[in-house]
Amino acid sequence: MKIESLLDDEDFTEDCQVWLRQQTLEMRSPYNLKMYIEETLFPSLTRNIKKDTISEKTCRNYMYLWGYRYDEKKKGIYYDGHKRPDVVKYRKK
C-alpha cells in the first residue's frame, strides 16, 4: 500500500511555496516552514490541530526539493596573493 505524500497535494505545495516567497531571507527556514504548516496550513486543510505533525528535517527536505539551498554568507577573506612581492610593494606606495 502506497503512503501518500504531502508533496502529492498540489494545494499544499503551492501554499507552502507562496508563503516561502513572501518571507525575507532571514525568515526562510525549515523551522519557520514547520510552524507555518502546523499552525496555519494543517488546520485549514484538515480542521484538525496536532502538535509535532511534521518534522523540521522533512521541511528541510521539502525546501531542497523546491529548489531552496542553504548558503552561509561569509566575509571576504584573502586566501592567497596578499603576500606576493608585487602586492606588498604596491601597498607600501
What domain count does the chain have? 1
pLDDT tens for residues 31-86?
Answer: 999 999 988 888 777 665 565 578 899 999 999 988 888 876 665 554 556 677 88
Q: Is the pTM for the entire model greater than 0.75? A: no
Angstrom CA distances, 74 to 22, 24, 68, 70, 71, stand at 25, 19, 18, 13, 9
Range of the domain at 30: 1-93
